[in-house]
Amino acid sequence: MNHRCPAILVAAPASGQGKTTIVSALARLHTRQGLRVRVFKCGPDFLDPFWHQLASGQPVYQIDLWMTGEADVRARLHAAAQQSDLIIVEGVMGLFDGEPSAADLAQRFGLPVLAVIDASSMAGTFAALAFGLQHYRPGLPWAGALANRVASEGHGRMLEQGMAPEHWMGALLRNPAVTLPERHLGLTVATELADAMERLDAAADALASTPLGQMDEAALQRWAVDFAAPEPMPPLPQLLAGRRVAVARDAAFCFIYQANLDTLRALGAELVCFSPLADAALPPCDALWLPGGYPELHAQRLGANAGLIASLRAHVAAGRPVWAECGGMMALFDAIVDMDGVAHPIWGLLPGSVTMQARLAALGPQQLELAAGTLRGHTFHYSTAATEVAAVARTARPGMAATPDKGEAVYRQGSVRASYFHPWFPSSPEAAASLFLPQEA
């Protein structure tokens, strides 16, 4: 059965235009007014969803025509439409960037596109840019355009000229109070900031003065979309039934897809979260997941947690599985070398070190072929690893075969497997389960 719900995809001509701020502000504004708002993030991003979840009070899932797949996207949007008054999808990069792009997603599901354009250095060109985004691809559903980082009300009136009234969503004045802070991997995690909700409220208050922010529940119906019911999915095999998986989760290890947690539970696993920053030992468990995050920002504290390090060594000595991805892998090495060349001793479960650098080391979609299936995911990191441990596998770009000199290495030592690769567990639940089961020697 189809379900109808107002929905928009918030896009931009490029990265850095302010999409996340607008999405979060809009979600916060309508949530404060009592509407049920669900937010999704197009692409593999971990950081923007922290802000979306805080703004909406609802869990946020990633949707992507390649990484998560069309069937997964259809099921999540259909489920959200049954429970929501508004669905907001934040696009990735520029509207037409990437394969598949945010525009592909909008067209596939009929999502009207709201373009957020940084208008700080333009006047009449704003309308031309909005027109180009709307008409570049025939049949693209269109909601309108919002001018962001506008200098004054007069500047806003200049930008409005040339826009069709129904497509002018307003001008948001430049205001440091509503800016979401950033660092080397993107936005700062919302949960780390004491004033995060105040920032969201300030952004929502500012948006409330625009035509976009003044749309009430009835007005939002102009963007109503029929979401088709997905094909029923069979239940997952209980490959992890009776197994307890410990999940590192704190400020140092926070890059966790909610869908990955859901998948492990659906496979039968019991999950228990712990903090490598605060806890003196692992909780009792059969397997360990060390997700990505910011170990480089907490290296001294992590390296000083002798009790936890001893517990990790005992876990590995007992042959219990460890899956470590990106930041989780970084913490397993002997040292993390910071931007100043200072080596910080860390856990020492893998020989070698990782070195931080100013330039991005790798970025993009990747897939990992395992005996149990192929996991889709991505890579995004500013460090490089140097180790004597041989790679037992390599990731590959979508649609390509793995080669010994490209992609991300997957290292194995004893019961430890580690890589810079971030997998999306629902893309192959069987392969995801195999990461947490004992492996043959």
pLDDT tens-digit series, residues 112-169 = 999 999 999 899 999 999 999 999 999 999 999 999 999 999 999 999 998 999 999 9
Residue where one domain finishes, among candidates 227, 261, 287? 227
180-202, pLDDT tens digit by residue? 665 455 556 656 666 788 989 99
306 lies in some domain: yes
Contact in structure between 54 and 32 (CB atoms under 8 Å): no
Residue where one domain finishes, among candidates 227, 252, 276? 227
CATH of the domain at 257: 3.40.50.880
143 lies in some domain: yes
Same domain, 67 and 123: yes
The β-bridge relationship of strands 409-413 and 416-419 is: antiparallel
Same domain, 221 and 252: no
pLDDT score recorded for residue 183: 46
Burial category of 1 from C-beta neighbours within 10 Å (exposed 0-12, middle 13-18, buried 19 and up): exposed
Same domain, 38 and 178: yes
Same domain, 399 and 334: yes
234 lies in some domain: no
Same domain, 223 and 287: no
201 lies in some domain: yes
142 lies in some domain: yes
The β-bridge relationship of strands 287-290 and 322-325 is: parallel
Q: Which amino acid is at 410?
A: V
Among residues 42, 254, 285, 326, which one is catalytic?
326
Confidence band, pLDDT 50/70/90 cuts, at residue 398: very high
Same domain, 166 and 261: no
Same domain, 326 and 408: yes
- The total domain count for the chain is 2
Same domain, 336 and 253: yes
Same domain, 189 and 73: yes
- DSSP SS3 for 126: helix
Full-model pTM:
0.93
Picking from 27-41, 222-236, 256-270, which range would have the lowest pLDDT averaged per residue? Answer: 222-236
Angle at CA of residue 56, ends 55 and 61, nearest 5°: 105
Phi, psi of 56 (to 5 degrees): -95, -20
pLDDT score recorded for residue 182: 57
Same domain, 9 and 38: yes
Rounded distance, CA 173 to CA 196, Å? 20
CATH of the domain at 129: 3.40.50.300
Token pair recorded at residue 250? 């704190």
Contact in structure between 395 and 410 (CB atoms under 8 Å): yes
Same domain, 333 and 218: no
Q: Classify each residue of 393-415 as buried b or exposed e, where b means 16 or more C-beta atoms within 10 Å of its C-beta.
A: bbbbeeeeebeeeebbbbbbbeb
93 lies in some domain: yes
The answer to whether 326 is a known catalytic residue is yes
Residue where one domain finishes, among candidates 227, 262, 285? 227
280-314, pLDDT tens digit by residue? 999 999 999 999 999 999 999 999 999 999 999 99
Q: What is the CA radius of gyration of the chain?
A: 23
The β-bridge relationship of strands 343-345 and 333-337 is: antiparallel
Token pair recorded at residue 350? 């893998």
DSSP output for 340-367? TS-EEE---SEEEEEEE-SS--EEEEEE
322 lies in some domain: yes
Rounded distance, CA 271 to CA 285, Å? 9
Chain length of the chain: 441
237 lies in some domain: no
User: Do you find a cis peptide bond into 345, omega within 30 degrees of 0?
Assistant: no
Average pLDDT across the chain, whole number: 94
**Closest C-alpha among 21, 65, 17, 13 to residue 39:** 21
Phi, psi of 30 (to 5 degrees): -75, -30
Domain that holds residue 158: 3-227
Same domain, 428 and 290: yes
